[in-house]
Amino acid sequence: MECPSCKTPAAAGAKFCAECGTALPRSCPGCGHAAPSGAKYCPECGASLATNISDKAAGPKRLADPPLISAPERRQLSVMFCDMVGSSVLSTRLDPEEQREVVSSFQSCCTAEIKRLDGMVAQYLGDGVLAYFGYPTAHEDDAERAVRAGPSWRRSAP
Beta strand segments in 4-46, E = 26-27, 34-35
Extents of the domains making up the chain: 1-55, 78-156
Is the domain 78-156 a CATH 3.30.70.1230 member? yes
Helices (H), 11-141: 53-56, 87-93, 96-116
Name the band, by pLDDT with cuts 50, 70 and 90, for residue 152: low
Which of 33-37, 49-53, 90-94, 147-151 is the most confident on average?
90-94
Candidates 88, 86, 149, 87; CA nearest to 119 is 149
Tell me the pLDDT tens digit for each residue of 50-109: 754 444 444 444 555 555 666 777 888 999 999 888 888 988 999 999 999 999 999 999
Regarding pTM above 0.85, the answer is no
Q: Provide the edge-to-edge strand list for the sheet that holds 128-133.
A: 78-83, 128-133, 120-125
